[in-house]
Amino acid sequence: MPFTFENHHNVVFGDCDPAGIVYYPNIYRWMDGTFQRFLQQYGGHAAVCEHLGAVGLGLMETHAKYRRPLKDGDALTIRMEITEWSAKSYRLIHRGYVGDDLAFEGTEVRALFEHRDGRMRAGEVSRLKTYLESRSEP
Amino acid sequence: MPFTFENHHNVVFGDCDPAGIVYYPNIYRWMDGTFQRFLQQYGGHAAVCEHLGAVGLGLMETHAKYRRPLKDGDALTIRMEITEWSAKSYRLIHRGYVGDDLAFEGTEVRALFEHRDGRMRAGEVSRLKTYLESRSEP
Amino acid sequence: MPFTFENHHNVVFGDCDPAGIVYYPNIYRWMDGTFQRFLQQYGGHAAVCEHLGAVGLGLMETHAKYRRPLKDGDALTIRMEITEWSAKSYRLIHRGYVGDDLAFEGTEVRALFEHRDGRMRAGEVSRLKTYLESRSEP
Amino acid sequence: MPFTFENHHNVVFGDCDPAGIVYYPNIYRWMDGTFQRFLQQYGGHAAVCEHLGAVGLGLMETHAKYRRPLKDGDALTIRMEITEWSAKSYRLIHRGYVGDDLAFEGTEVRALFEHRDGRMRAGEVSRLKTYLESRSEP
């Protein structure tokens, strides 16, 4: 069963740099924000972590390809999907569209961080998957 | 005739600081973003400036009072109003609500910056007001 | 005895907006960052809060006047001073300079937030002052 | 001849998220900022673009691996190197260290964007390389 979410952002002047196009770290903010809004359906990042005894659902790796510049006034739609579950990480794809045009395509590889033996470690992610599945067929 | 605009933002994890509440510079980003979305109704910041021969609709002064902490998951509504026109500046009030609760109240004092005599100066803002009025009764 | 701190930031392209000047919420990021670096001398925000049994040293009110546009390449110096202690808040002034030119002048009114009776409240700030004083004359 | 640059950032509270570690889009801001400071040695982004008749030195692709969480108080050093020149792009590696510990490793693939035939296109980057080389042996 796929985990997907669709998010929207109206690009504004302040998202852009002196070349007049979106400053690229903002694209990562919108990717992360889309995942966080997905989690809000399950109570939000803090509630999910508390349920799982985790510290955070942080990042191991991120990547993006920029296909088309984004500008002030663009109505951006971001479509997220969790595409892969490994033992200690899971992979999300985020695609940003303005109308039918693909503006960017990004990947987040996330973990489930726990405190163990006095340091932060990546734990098994299967229980996150199980938890999300148990909540998504009400 | 009042110039008003209403904008929305779903607060996410990444908007917040280690205390778990919104990092306050983001509140100014949302205030500015609300004004920019207001301008998008008139073609956007670049088009309005080009029409008026201006460089930018930048800031002289900003202020905010924080009434209630904002958190991951809050559905924020920002209501903007231009409340005062002076010779070389105009004043905007932004009020941020979560439901009926006022979360912040902010002010922006903006100018109409022009290049003149080799430097950037604040010009007369009456022509911005006239331009907005001429476009808002279609 | 005055509490002061001096911080530096080299303004870069990505700090600026399509008009080529610094996007103003970044100025508040640098003001807050200057206060946080001041706190790092005392162990940092988390350590100071833990010592005082507080949740955070958050904001009640902020303000800034912009005197001169900042641009890519400007070497910015921010001079902070705590200028006033009230019962439940304290006031900081931040002045940003490029060389001898004042670029902005800002104010932060901060509190000492505590959890009490199930909600977050502003507590007495005298013990923060006492703590900082006790540590600054080693 | 290698093009390298070393940049520094003191991580502050506001760079971090509710899990208390750096919010990852900020890492991309610091990577971009390191490249922009590299360019400041040659007059800065705007001057280099003007010299080359280009619109911007924007991104085609970015990537980062996070090796170790960054926190409030960490003194971060970012070492950048341009590692590869292709026909229409060049590749930069950014490595972020706290002391000897590698905190992140990132890549930016950048282009030289030009306006041509009414749209923005990636042009030949050899003239950027030639320009930088001509300036780096004074």
For chain D, what percent of residues have pLDDT higher than 90? 91
User: What tokens were used for D124?
Assistant: 């030949």
| pLDDT tens readout for residues B121-131 | 999 999 999 99
- Chains touching B (3+ CB pairs < 8 Å): A, C, D
Q: Cα(C73)–Cα(A45) distance, rounded to whole angstroms?
A: 38
| pLDDT tens readout for residues A88-135 | 999 999 999 999 999 999 999 999 999 888 888 999 999 999 999 998
Q: Which of A5, A13, A27, A80 to mutate to test the interface with B (most CBs of B within 10 A)?
A: A13
Residue D35 dihedral angles phi and psi, to the nearest 5°: -65, -40
Mean pLDDT of D106-126: 92
Q: Nearest to residue A38, comparing CAs of A138, A132, A137, A134?
A: A132
pLDDT above 80 for A138: no
Q: Cα(D12)–Cα(D38) distance, rounded to whole angstroms?
A: 23
Q: Cα(B59)–Cα(D122) distance, rounded to whole angstroms?
A: 34
pLDDT above 60 for B137: no
Q: Which of B15, B21, B31, B89 to mutate to test the interface with C (most CBs of C within 10 A)?
A: B21
**What integer pLDDT is reported at residue A1 of this predicted model?**
56
Query: Which residue of chain A is at minimal alpha-carbon distance from D105?
Result: A61
CB contact under 8 A, B12 and A36: yes
Query: Residue B117: pLDDT band by 50, 70, 90 thresholds?
Result: confident
Say if CB C84 and CB C90 are below 8 A apart: yes
- Chains touching C (3+ CB pairs < 8 Å): A, B, D
| pLDDT tens readout for residues D22-40 | 999 999 999 999 999 999 9
Say if CB C104 and CB C98 are below 8 A apart: no
User: What tokens were used for B138?
Assistant: 């279609």
pLDDT above 80 for D72: yes
pLDDT above 90 for A73: yes
Say if CB B111 and CB B121 are below 8 A apart: no
Question: Would you call A32 a catalytic residue per the annotation?
Answer: no
A39 Cβ contact list (under 8 Å, min separation 6): A45, A48, A57, B13
Say if CB D64 and CB D31 are below 8 A apart: yes
Question: In the sheet that B59-66 helps form, which strands lie side by side, from edge to edge?
Answer: B3-10, B75-85, B90-98, B101-110, B59-66, C59-66, C101-110, C90-98, C75-85, C3-10
B37 touches chain A (CB under 8 A): yes
D16 touches chain B (CB under 8 A): yes
